Structures are given as structure tokens and as C-alpha cells.
Chains A and B, each alone.
Chain A
Amino acid sequence: MTISRREVLKAGVATGTVLAIPSVLRAQKAPTDARTVRMVKVGGLTVFDPVVTTANITQDHATAIYDTLFSLDSKFVPQPQMVGKWGVSDDKKTYTFELRDGLGWHDGRPVTAADCVASIRRSFEAGGPGQLMMAQGADISKKDDKTFTIALREPLGVLTLMLSQYRYIMREKDADRPATEAVTTNIGSGPFRFNQSLAKPGASFAYDRNEKYVPRSEPSDGLAGAKIVNVDRVVWNNIGDQQTALAALHAGEIDYFEGPPPDLFADIESDPNLALEVLDKSGQDYFLRMNCLQKPFDSVKARQAVLHLVDQEAFLSVISPDPKYSSTVNSFFGSGNPVSNDENTGWFKKGGDPEKAKQLFAEAGYAGEKVVILDPTDWREADNASQLLAVALQKIGVNAEVAPSDWGGLVARRNKKGPVEDGGWSIFITSESDYSRGDPITDSTLSMNGEKGWYGWPKSDEYEALRAKWANVDTAERKALARKMQQIAWNLAGTVLLGRVISPIARRMTLTGLIGMPEVVPMWNMRKASA
């Protein structure tokens, strides 16, 4: 059998046509480039349920697809979001909430009070601040399809604030499960729908505009007000290599690049099509945590020695070298919060005093015990800071060594309370939002309830007694409380701050309208102009 050239050409054309059909169909459905925003986020989205994780990227995902009963405005005041009307009884113990009109799930069903009741219960059972409410024996009940109540034994002034902070409302059938069992259906009632068919875990996720979403009538303000979506689709590309992400931004293949490393700032600023923008003005506070249960840091003097030893400017130079985006921070409650203060900071504020540190270690009876610093080598900033800390300790005669691992290894090991000889640890470095340090109720790292608390396990009953008052006092009283708590916190010295770092995002000039709030990047309000 012979095949003519014409037959080969015919076969080629036919094959090409068949192969092109899916792309033609896709082209008919997919939004245009001008209506699609492509974002590169910090880290990959691996957990979809905001109740089981504290990861920021999951909060971003949840903020897109779920809605909240209340939302924080730009001044961090909770404002009704899903809630239409609400009120509190005269004794301040019973709250009644009525849902506003027009709320619907992405599967087409209406949002009901039963969904809210199940979601609040699950979210508060998850731990952290919610336990405060559950400890009060809160009774959360549905009254009718649109109304529910929360009845407390004692007044809780921070209730609406707690309902606004990442308390996402899920369908009753999703929320009706233990707080430790992850929800993966991704069906919410928020302004974006999660596009399941385009989801490629580890590679990319797509969020489509929820055409049925009814925004509030108030103007957008922080996370509150109208959530108006101006684009048809937002795609999260998980580009693991930052150099590649920057190249893609230059080439216009992506519109937004979160957390570019400081050494790329100059390159970004040199391109007239790109801009650096600070969305989270509160930034991240880097801090070290000592294991208060084991030698040598079971001694207050040894912990205070580290407070004297740390020179924040030196640490910032290895964490974020551009002084435009970093600053020292001395308040236990962060640097930009209403309760930030300078109580009890005079004695260590200058920092970088190795002689004083050496003297305090001696007074603590330090006898050469090994100090193990957990070093997450896959997190550049914390890795650099860990290395610097080890050198600083070694220089004053402390038997310090780093224990390198990836972050996964660190989080497993930091759970061990025993001595270093049994696989325990002495110090690890991490970071958290400066904004979240302003609230000791919602921030578990600010607790001092010993072994029941956060890693490092510092203990002060006096501090905890003051913390318990926080929920029911106004801002002026909180400021006074914060000063007293800080007095105790710095004397106890379980935590040492290393400095505050602000991370700008990089974007194409054509992408505008991004909302700046701490810890979360909402995707409504942004606009994309044609290049």
C-alpha cells in the first residue's frame, strides 16, 4: 500500500482540527485575559478549610469563597456583613442576629440560620479565642430560617470582633463535623466561586466571579462594606521559584506577585510597568521563643540574658536588609496597635549587650548545657536569624548549635517538651502579624498558661488573670491592662522580639484597587486595565 503526499496532508489537517477542538471550546468559555487576574501567592494552597489551619493562604482562599457575619473595616471595627439586623439584650448576655436578604450558596440554596449556628459552633470548638466563648457555656440556637441567637452566661464585649475574625460561614452539612476534620467541598456564599474543574493541587487554582452575589449597599471599607468583583476570574499560579515569578511578572504573564524577596526590589522598581505596594502595613514581627521548661531557659535570668543579647538591627539586617521595609519593635503587643506601649522596655531596649548577657547567664548558673536552636533551612529569613543567634550565643560562651531541618521538621520537634538530649529543643524563631499581637485573646502566642499554652510554655498566673479581663473592657482600659501585662511579659522573657518586617507585594501597573489589610488579601474591588 502506498500513501500519497496529499493523503498525508489531509490526515495532518484532520488531526490538527481534532486537536484544536478542545481549545476552541475552552476559548468560548474562558474569560479574556483582560478579565482574568493571575496571582502568585506566598506558599501553596494545600489546606482548604480555614478552621483546621492558621495558614494565611487558606484565609485568603476562605475570604474569597466564604462570607462572614461581621467584617473588619479599615479601622479594625467590626461591621455587619451577612448580618442585616442585630441586637443585644439589656444584660448584654444574649445576642440576636438576623441575616440580610439575598444570601445564597454557590450550589443555589439560600443561606439559613442553621448554617450559621453549625459554622459558629465548629469554628469556636477549634480552639483559640473561641474556647473563651465555649467556656462560658454559650448557647447558639436557631430561631427561624434567618434568625439565631447566642446566649452567654457572662457578657462578652469582643463577640462581634470574634465573629468578624475569620469565622467563615459554611453550609450546615459541611460544618456539622469535628473541627479537626477538614472541609474540602469549597462551596461558600462569598463573592467568588471556587472552580473545581480547573483546580490543580500544587499547581494552580481558579476563582470565578459569583454572579449571584448580592453585595451590601455600603461602600467598600477594609473587609467590610460592598464586596464588588470587577474581574471574571482570578487564577492562583503556584510558581515555586521567585526568580521565575519575577520574570513572569516582567513579561506580563502574571499580574501580582506576593512576598518578593528584598533582593528583587531594585529590579521591580526599575521596570516602569511594575510597582511595589504595601498592602499589609502592620507587617510581620519576627521573634524567638525559648523553652521555659528545660535548662538553661527554665531560668528567668538566662531568658533575660537573651533579651539583652539580641540586637534587633543586626537581626533585621539578615532578615530584611532594606531599612525602608523594617523597623525595631519593643512592645510585647507589636508596634502599630492601639495597645502597643513602652512599659518595662528601658532596661533591654538598646539590646546587643553581650557583657550583660554573659553576666546574666552566669547568674543563672549556666554550666555549659547544650542550647539547640531549631533552624528551618527552607525559610530564608528564619534560617539567617537562627544562624546569627547561634553565633551571638557562642561568642558569649554558650554551647549553642543549630539543628537544621525543613519547616516540617521544626513544627514536629517544637512539640517536644523534654530536654535536648531526648530530642527536645531550646529556641526556635518564627514570625506573626504585628496586628495580631495587639489582641491577647485571639493570639495564642501571647498566652502564658504554661504547658497548656503555646510552644515554649512560659507561665504566669498573674498575667493570665489580666488577660481574662481583656474581653470585657473598652480600649482605654485595655491600654492600662496591656501595660501591666507587658510589665510581667518582659520580666518573664519567654519571647524575644527580633524586629518588624513589612513585605510589599509586586504588581503590574494595570492591576489596581487592591485592598490593604493585615494577614489577608481580598480579591474583590481590584480592577485590571488593558495592558
Chain B
Amino acid sequence: MAGYILRRLVSTIAVMAVVGIFIFLLLRLAPGDPAAMIAGKEATAEMIAGIREQLGLNAPLPVQFARWAGDMLRGDFGTSIFAGRPVLELIAQRLEPTVSLALMTMLLSVTVGVSFGILAAWRAGRLVDRLLTAFSALGYSVPVFVIGYFLIYLFAIKTHWLPVQGYVPIDAGLGHWFVHLILPTVTLSLGYIAFIARVTRTSMLEVLSEDYMRTAAAKGASSYAMLFHHALKNAGIPILTVIGISFAYLIGGVVLTETVFNIPGIGRLVVDAINNRDYPIIQSVIILTSGLYVLINLAIDLAYTLVDPRVRY
């Protein structure tokens, strides 16, 4: 197992290096110029040229790459062209909102999604199954911004129960932090609940039709024991995979939700950086996210051993 983990960790570095080279070239070859963005709408070509020189953007591409790669190897992720602050500091500033939203969303999605999936599988073909399937289809197909605006209208503007927008750091008070996350969490969770519920239902139905489940029923096992002790554990691998992928996706940035609820997270940081051509931020976030994806996948693979003793590394 230790050897397996070590190999996967080494591969993470390789993945991050490949992603780094790819994103560096992609950004330089794409149209756009940070100097022009800094100088503004009415700037003259002379002003822009001066800023390009100052930022070192006139240097040949290999020289720019060598400088950047050297800095990265020393653990220096660079400084934002616009904010003039270290990129890692800006990422750290945005990490808490994104992680808070991702964790809350996963908590709600997994709890409700798995429960709905089990319930639908247990009552397959009946009214409750049809209702939950319809809910899944709805949650899956209605865009996040529609749900978001609807909830804002209902709970923030009409009733004033919850705030419209913004994020309050956890150290500013647990209550404020929680209240500001309710609407974005519910909005974001609906799609994930639907996704997890569907996968859970399918996976559970497959297991429930196995011979050993019939045997258990014949032996008089209770519904609770059949669903939670026998079926859920055996249906666990696809569910775990879905949860892991969902979590990785959430950390990667949920731009729409962050935009609708004005949450200053990683997603918005990257989108703003792309609009401004703030290369150091884009490169760093994408490299770190790729590494995180690999690590989350590793965590999922390791978690398989918990639900399926046949899995060995």
C-alpha cells in the first residue's frame, strides 16, 4: 500500500508539470495582453508598450518560461500582475469561501442524495420512487442561476429571512458564516443531490437484485439490515466515486454559484484572472487544482478498501 501511495504521489508531480507547461503555452498563444488590460480603454500604444516592457512580457517565450519554471521549482508561485500581491496569498484568501461552500454542499448532497437514492431503490416503481426520479430530473436540468435567483427572491427579498449575497469568514462568527452559506449551498446542492441520488438508486437496485439479497430476505433479515448492512456497502464503490468527483469539481471552482451569490472564491478568482490575463494567478490555480484532483482520486481509491475488502493495493 505504501509503495502504491508513493507512486501515485510522484505521478501527481508529473501531472502538475505537464499541466504547467500546457497552460503556460496556452495562455501565451491565446489572444490578449495584460499590459493592454492594465492601461485601459483609452490608452495609447505607447503606454501599453511601456507597461509590457516593465512587466517583462517582451522577453522571448523560452526566457519567460525558464524564469517562471525556475520560480515554481523554488516554490515561488509569482506575484499577481494586477493586485501586486503574492499569488499564494490571493489563493489563500479565496480558499476559505470555496472550501466552506464545497464542504457544506457535499454534506447536504451526500446526506440527502444517498438517502433519496436508497429510498427510491427500496420503493422502486412506486409513487415515492417516481417522485424522487422526477425531483432528480428537475435538479439535474434546472440551471444553477435559475434556482439561485428564485431562492434569493423568495428568502432574501420577499421574506428577508436570509441575506442576498456575500460571504462572512468563519472567524467573524459561526452564525453569520452559516446564514450566508444557506442559499448558495441549497442552490448548488440540488444538482449534486440529483446526481448522487440517481447513482445510488441504480447501484442499490443492482445489488438488491443479487441472489444473496434474496437469501437474506428469505432468512428474515429486516429491511434496515438488508439496505444498510448488506446492500449499501456493496453498492458503495460507484457512490464513493461520484462523491469524490463531485468534491473535486466543487473545489475546482463553482463559478456560477459564486457569481450569483457574490462569494469571493477560487472560481471567481480564476475567471477574473482570465478576463484580465493575469497569467501568474491562472497558471498557479490550474496547477494546484490539477494536483488536488490527483490527490482526491487517490483518496477515493484508498477509500475503496474500506467498503470492499477485495480491493488491495
Is B211 on the interface with A (CB-CB < 8 A)? Answer: no
Say whether A85 faces chain B, with CB atoms less than 8 Å apart: no
Complex formed: what's the CA distance from A434 to B222 in Å? 79
Contact call A181/B31, Cβ cutoff below 8 A: no
C-alpha spacing A181/B165, complex, angstroms? 36
Distance in angstroms between the alpha carbons of A248 and B166 in the assembled complex: 9
**Across the two chains, which residue of chain A brings its CB closest to B148?**
A244
Within the assembled complex, what's the spacing in Å between the Cα atoms of A431 and B40? 12
In B16-70, which residues have CB < 8 Å from any A CB? 30-33, 36-48, 50-51, 53-54
Let me know if A181 and B172 touch, CB within 8 A.
no
How far is it, in angstroms, between the C-alpha of A405 and the C-alpha of B275 when the chains are bound?
11
Kindly state whether residue B259 has any CB partner on chain A within 8 Å.
Answer: yes
Indicate whether A248 sits within 8 Å of B165 (C-beta atoms), given known contacts A202-B268, A412-B31, A412-B36: yes
Mark A235-271 against chain B: 1 for CB-CB distance below 8 A, else 0.
0011111011001101101000000000000000000
As a 0/1 sequence over residues 216 to 247 of chain A, the CB contacts with chain B under 8 angstroms (1 = contact) are 00000000000000000000011111011001
Contact of B44 among A127, A201, A413 (CB under 8 A): A127
Chain A residues contacting B218 (CB-CB under 8 Å) are none
Instruction: Tell whether B85 is near chain A: CB-to-CB under 8 Å.
Output: yes
Indicate if the CB atoms of A239 and B262 lie closer than 8 Å.
yes
> Hey, what's the 0/1 contact readout for A193-233 against B, CB within 8 Å counting as 1?
00000001111100000000000000000000000000000
Contacts A26-B172, A237-B262: A201 and B82 contacting too (C-beta < 8 A)? yes
Contact of A247 among B50, B153, B272 (CB under 8 A): B153
Residue A159 lies at the interface, judged by CB distance under 8 Å to chain B: no
Query: How far apart are the CA atoms of A408 and B279 in the complex, in Å?
Result: 13
Docked CA distance A439–B47 (Å): 20
Question: Does A240 lie within 8 Å of B262, measured CB to CB?
Answer: yes
Residue B239 interfacial (CB < 8 Å): no
Q: Which of A16-24, A146-154, A489-497 contacts B (4 or more CB under 8 A)?
A: A16-24
B264, A202: Cβ atoms closer than 8 Å: yes
**CB-CB under 8 A for A408 and B43, given A22-B172, A201-B90:** no
How many whole Å from A464's CB to the nearest CB in chain B? 15
Q: Which of B156-164, B292-300, B301-309 contacts A (4 or more CB under 8 A)?
A: B156-164
Q: Which of B41, B85, B259, B275 contacts A406 (CB 8 A)?
A: B275
Q: With a CB–CB cut-off of 8 A, which chain B residues contact A431?
A: 41
Quick check: is B103 within 8 A (CB to CB) of the other chain?
Answer: no
Taking CB atoms, residues of chain A closer than 8 Å to B44 are 127-128, 444, 453-454
Question: Would you call A247 and B80 a contact (CB within 8 A)?
Answer: no
Using an 8 Å CB-CB cutoff, how does the interface string of A442-472 with B read, 1 for contact, 0 for none?
0111000000011100000000000000000
Q: List the B side residues contacting A161 at CB < 8 Å.
A: none
Find out whether the CB atom of B50 lies under 8 angstroms from the CB atom of A244: no
**Pair A408/B41 contact, Cβ less than 8 Å:** no
Q: Is the CB of B170 within 8 A of A19?
A: yes
Residue in contact with A54 in the complex, picked from B41, B90, B276, CB distance below 8 Å: B41
Total chain B interface residues with beta-carbon distance under 8 A? 56
Q: Which residues of A contact B53 (CB under 8 A)?
A: 180
- Among residues of B, the one whose C-beta sits closest to the C-beta of A59 is B40
Bound CA span A19–B277, Å:
38
Given contacts A179-B50, A412-B32, A415-B45, contact A201 B83 (CB under 8 A): yes
Q: Which of these binds chain B: A45-53, A90-98, A351-359?
A: A45-53
A516 in the interface (beta carbon within 8 A):
no
Closest B residue by C-beta to A247: B164
Give A51's nearest chain B residue, CB to CB: B47
> A412 touching B33 by the CB < 8 A rule?
yes
Q: Is B39 a contact of A413 with CB atoms below 8 Å?
A: no
- Say yes or no: B40 contacts A46, CB within 8 Å: no
Q: Number of contacts between A and B (CB, 8 Å)? A: 163
User: Would A46 and B83 count as touching, CB distance under 8 A?
Assistant: yes
Cβ-defined contact, A22 with B165, below 8 A: no
Residues in B with CB closer than 8 Å to A158 are none
CA distance A300 to B262 in the complex (A): 49
Is B173 among interface residues, defined by CB-CB distance under 8 A? yes
Q: Is A182 an interface residue (CB 8 A)?
A: yes
Q: Does B3 contact A (CB under 8 A)?
A: no
The interface residues of chain A, by DSSP majority, are classed as loop
Q: Of all chain A residues, which has the CB nearest B176?
A: A23
- A240 near B163 (CB under 8 angstroms)? no
Chain B residues positioned under 8 Å from A445 (CB to CB)? 42
Chain A residues lying within 8 Å of B262, measured Cβ to Cβ, are 237-241, 244, 248
Cβ B171 vs Cβ A44 within 8 A: no
Q: Which residues of B contact A44 (CB under 8 A)?
A: 272
Contacts A47-B82, A432-B42 given: A409-B31 contact, CB under 8 Å? yes
Q: Are B275 and A408 in contact (CB under 8 A)?
A: yes
Please, which residues of chain B bring their CB within 8 A of the CB of A248?
164-166, 262
Centre residue among A405, A409, A411 by max chain B CB count within 10 A: A411
In Å, the complex CA distance between A443 and B172 comes to: 47
> What's the Cα separation between A201 and B46 when bound, in Å?
27
| B46 contact set on A, CB distance < 8 A | 127
List chain A residues, Cβ under 8 A from B163: 251, 253
A275 within 8 A of B: no
* B264–A253 CB distance below 8 A: no
| Chain A: minimal CB distance from B285 (Å) | 12
Contacts of A444 in B (CB 8 A): 42, 44
**Chain A residues near B (Cβ < 8 Å):** 16, 19-20, 22-23, 26, 44, 46-48, 52-55, 58, 126-128, 178-182, 184, 200-204, 237-241, 243-244, 247-248, 250-251, 253, 378, 405-409, 411-413, 415, 430-432, 443-445, 453-455
What are 5 pairs between A and B in contact, CB < 8 Å?
A52-B47, A178-B50, A244-B260, A431-B41, A444-B44
17 other A-B residue contacts (CB within 8 Å) besides A23-B171, A247-B157, A253-B163:
A19-B173, A26-B172, A46-B83, A53-B39, A53-B43, A182-B84, A201-B90, A202-B83, A203-B93, A238-B262, A239-B262, A244-B260, A248-B164, A251-B160, A408-B37, A408-B277, A444-B44
Query: Considering the complex of A and B, which 6 residue pairs feature the smallest CB-CB distances, nearest first?
Result: A203-B264, A180-B50, A54-B40, A201-B83, A411-B36, A412-B33
